[in-house]
């Protein structure tokens, strides 16, 4: 029988670790909580993974926690006149409120709350940082 402890061990599940056998191995090794990152998982993958965790929970007769890390908002820019562009490190590029098709120098960002909250010279991370 497991001893009661205050520390919890969290294991993040991904493509290499979300099959039932691996989940059971992780739980036997001490994992108490399993994290599923929804930035990289579909709702079907979530459902299947939760089902596998619950199956392991029944097999081991021990409660296992599930932490679902929800994906944050993905802000999109408007379209570009030439279809797409490639930015170069150090290049100046402007996100603005002009809804004309974008160029190599600027593009429309249809999120006025972002435009209002940043200042000239602020560093912004694009394409998932």
Confidence of residue 3 (pLDDT cuts 50, 70, 90): low
pLDDT for residue 74 is more than 90? no
**Are 49 and 79 members of one domain?**
no
**Are 64 and 78 members of one domain?**
no
pLDDT at 123: 84
For residue 101, being part of any structural domain is answered with: yes
pLDDT at 122: 86
pLDDT at 75: 83
**Are 64 and 96 members of one domain?**
no
Alpha-carbon distances, residue 66 vs 8, 62, 70 (angstroms): 12, 13, 12
Average pLDDT over residues 25-36: 97
pLDDT at 128: 64
Alpha-carbon distances, residue 59 vs 14, 69, 127 (angstroms): 21, 25, 42
**Are 93 and 107 members of one domain?**
yes
pLDDT at 69: 92
For residue 111, being part of any structural domain is answered with: yes
Locate 14 and state its tokens. Answer: 């991904």
Locate 48 and state its tokens. Answer: 């299947």
3-state helix, strand, coil in the chain (%, to 5): 25, 15, 55
**Are 19 and 61 members of one domain?**
yes
For residue 25, being part of any structural domain is answered with: yes
Domain that holds residue 21: 10-69
pLDDT digit string, tens, across residues 88-121: 888 888 999 999 999 999 999 999 999 899 988 8
Confidence of residue 5 (pLDDT cuts 50, 70, 90): low
The reply to whether the predicted model has a pTM over 0.75 is: no
Q: Of the candidates 32, 51, 69, which is a domain's last residue? A: 69
pLDDT digit string, tens, across residues 51-67: 999 999 999 999 999 99
Strands (E), 1-129: 10-13, 33-37, 65-69, 94-96, 106-108
Locate 106 and state its tokens. Answer: 């600027």
Question: Domain tally for the chain?
Answer: 2
């Amino acid at each position: 029988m497991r001893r009661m402890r205050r520390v919890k061990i969290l294991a993040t599940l991904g493509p290499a670790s979300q099959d039932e056998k691996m989940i059971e191995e992780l739980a036997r090794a001490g994992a108490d909580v399993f994290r599923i990152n929804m930035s990289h998982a579909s709702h079907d993958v979530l459902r299947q993974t939760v089902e596998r965790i619950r199956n392991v929970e029944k097999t081991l007769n021990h409660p296992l926690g599930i932490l679902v890390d929800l994906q944050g908002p993905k802000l999109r820019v408007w379209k570009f006149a030439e279809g797409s562009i490639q930015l170069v490190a150090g290049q100046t590029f402007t996100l603005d409120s002009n809804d004309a098709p974008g160029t190599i120098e600027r593009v429309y960002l249809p999120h006025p709350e972002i435009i209002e909250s940043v200042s000239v010279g602020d560093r912004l991370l694009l394409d998932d940082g």
